[in-house]
Amino acid sequence: MLSFNKELEHVQSILSKAFKTRAGSLLDLMRLDFSPVNNHTRPGLILLAANLYNNVSRQVVYLAAILQFIHTASQIHKIVLENDGLMEKIDYFRDYCQLPVLIGDYLYSQIFVNLCDAGLFNYLRTFAELIGQINEKCILKIKTDQEGTQSADSNMTVIEKESGRVIAACCRISGELAGAPEEDLDLLESFGFNLGMALGLAEDMPGNSEAVKDFFKDALNCLELLPQGESRNLLKQFIGSLQEEYVSYAK
């Protein structure tokens, strides 16, 4: 557990370095929840997934930070209000249009900076495609909002592009970096997808507690097929605490 805490601290130091500017911290300009749960959940999953194979390398730590950059950037872009009438309200326009766009784009750029810093050049295309999917999600949501055609299927597609596929890819990469055998990589990807869907639904679609429970259950079923030991038990406990936090949140 001590090692895990140090790795999380390293992740936070990577994030803090990117957030700091000459004028201060970008965190002061963002209207988001930066609680420990929000900051540690996704990086923690990546670190613990690699720990199943006893290999939390420097590259894995950077991967955990990159996942949090993606999550933070996508959450910031959600603040943007697509309303031309706000142009006349300077304060609102700045806080909910200009700053979120600029800060979100800056954080997306940090993903590629940190991939290069960590020597993860072969994953540049993977993350470019993931960010492309997130942008597709934004376009889809704006379109359905404007047309009034929101449906359970379209909402699920949004969550899949923004959270499910992103965490799935990062869990698989975490396994690759940690030296997981080939037969475990698909399990790690499925494990991450189900967790990503559970977290995304709980955070963005309150009231879907049954769906959240089902995705958590499927994630735990995948976990049962991964290497046994203290690391798996710790990961199971971590997910249990997330279930308590997010299932109650989704009610």
pLDDT tens digits, 27-85: 666 666 666 777 899 999 999 999 999 999 999 999 999 999 999 888 887 766 544 44
For residues 23 and 4, which has the higher predicted lDDT (pLDDT)? Answer: 4
Domain of residue 110, CATH code: 1.10.600.10
Residue 86's pLDDT is what?
Answer: 44
Residue 7, token pair as written in the block? 């790795």
The mean pLDDT of 147-170, rounded to a whole number, is 85
Domain extent, residue 192, equals: 2-250
pLDDT score of 248 more than 70: no
Residue 208's pLDDT is what?
Answer: 80
Residue 41's pLDDT is what?
Answer: 93
CA torsion 119-123-128-131 (nearest 10°) is -100
The rounded distance, in Å, linking the Cα atoms of 136 and 72 is 17
How sure is the predictor about 96, in pLDDT bands with cuts at 50, 70 and 90? low
The rounded distance, in Å, linking the Cα atoms of 61 and 251 is 33
Residue 87's pLDDT is what?
Answer: 44
The mean pLDDT of 244-248, rounded to a whole number, is 75
Domain count, the chain: 1
Residue 20's pLDDT is what?
Answer: 76
Closest by CA to 45, choosing from 64, 71, 73, 24, is 64
How sure is the predictor about 88, in pLDDT bands with cuts at 50, 70 and 90? very low
For residues 139 and 6, which has the higher predicted lDDT (pLDDT)? Answer: 6
Q: Quick check: 86 and 93 in contact, CB under 8 A?
A: yes
Residue 31's pLDDT is what?
Answer: 62
pLDDT tens digits, 192-206: 999 999 999 998 887
Comparing 142-156, 190-204, 220-234, the range with the smallest average pLDDT is: 142-156
Beta-carbon count within 10 A of 216 CB: 22
How sure is the predictor about 152, in pLDDT bands with cuts at 50, 70 and 90? confident
Residue 97's pLDDT is what?
Answer: 54
For residues 103 and 142, which has the higher predicted lDDT (pLDDT)? Answer: 103
The mean pLDDT of 15-37, rounded to a whole number, is 70
pLDDT score of 158 more than 90: no
Closest by CA to 4, choosing from 246, 230, 184, 241, is 230
* Mean predicted lDDT score pLDDT of the chain: 84
The rounded distance, in Å, linking the Cα atoms of 192 and 42 is 10
